[in-house]
Structure 1
Amino acid sequence: MDLPNSTSDLGTLGETFVAEWLQSQGAIVLAHQWNCRSGELDLVVKTADEIIAFVEVKTRSRGNWDSDGALSITLTKQRKILTAAQLFLLKHPEFENLPCRFDVALVRYTKKRGNPPTPATSPHLTKNQFSLQDYICNAFD
């Protein structure tokens, strides 16, 4: 098993953790790591109350410098996500009449002894290494 050599491996696992949590809340995942010329949308979900949520996921380890990722959601980052969301809706007109919002999920990764997880590792085996620190609905308001 390869050890992750970048934060992108842990980021992907954090996104998977949040996707599973949202599904347990009744949401349907429409896209994961959706890419376009403006950037990437970590998660796009349809909530149980028929809202399209564009979810930015920040996964951090303990002792991070940016408040579990909250400080990394700058105005520039928000504009990129907004543009990507507009492009997503253009590509998926079936969702254009539903209300939309922008959420942020802050995930904490706790390193366990032994090998760290990789994206190939089942999230169910590593779930205890991730915890949802905060889920902010309408984070860009």
Structure 2
Amino acid sequence: MSNSVRSNYPDIGDLGEDLVAQWLHSTGWEILHRRFYCRWGEIDIIAQYHQTDTQAAANILRMNRTENLTLAFVEVKTRSAGNWDDGGRNAITQGKKTKIWRTAEIFLAEYPEKADYPCRFDVAIVSCQRRIKNLAGGTVTQEPILSLSTDKYEFKLQEYIPAAFEY
């Protein structure tokens, strides 16, 4: 019996995460970790945002806060058209939220210097579609935030939901 062909599903998820990391970086976020893993689970992207001096000064004046950093624990959902879970939105169950929260606690325990930073849990929705050569016409879809193409697939960051859930 021959070995079965390995699925390319993890590669598609990795490319969706690459797209989101690229977008976060382009909007001023520093990517601290990709696929942070512990016994509780995995967080796709952990990013840190540094406010500019002007933004930080405005916050100090407005709210009397000295923090100018934010940590985002980002869950990326990459889905193809016609998926069962509303583009990945329905896959963010209470159990998934708990795993992400516990994993974030482990991250903060490993990096105690970041434990006092404001934290949030974000969700990124990425669509993936097989590329078809010589396609005449097409369908109109929501304009993506950012897109990425490979020779086989087209990825679109459809939605980025800051503070999608709290703990």
Is this a same-fold pair by TM over 0.5?
Answer: yes
Query: Could you tell me how far apart the structure 1 residues matched to 2:98 and 2:8 are?
Result: 25
Using structure 1 for the length normalisation, give the TM-score.
0.85
Contact 1:104-1:139 within 8 A present in 2 as well: yes
RMSD: 2.2
After superposing on structure 2, the runs of 4+ consecutive aligned residues of structure 1 that deviate more than 6 Å are none
Match of 2:44 in 1: 42
Between 1 and 2, higher relative CO (CA 8 Å, sep ≥ 6) is seen in 1
1:4 Cα offset (Å): 6.6
Aligned AA (2:106): L
Report the identity percentage.
44
Q: Which secondary structure state, in structure 1, belongs to the residue aligned with residue 84 of structure 2? A: coil
Q: Which has the larger radius of gyration?
A: 2
Query: Could you tell me how far apart the structure 2 residues matched to 1:93 and 1:126 are?
Result: 39
Give 1:1-141 correspondences, 5 Å limit.
5-49=7-51, 50-113=69-132, 126=150, 129-141=154-166
Query: Could you tell me how far apart the structure 2 residues matched to 1:113 and 1:5 are?
Result: 20
Query: Could you tell me how far apart the structure 1 residues matched to 2:113 and 2:49 are?
Result: 15
Aligned AA (1:55): V
The structure that is strand-richer by fraction is 2
Q: Which runs of 5+ in 2 are unaligned?
A: 52-68, 134-146
Aligned AA (1:33): R
Pair 1:75–1:52, CA change in 2 (3 A): same
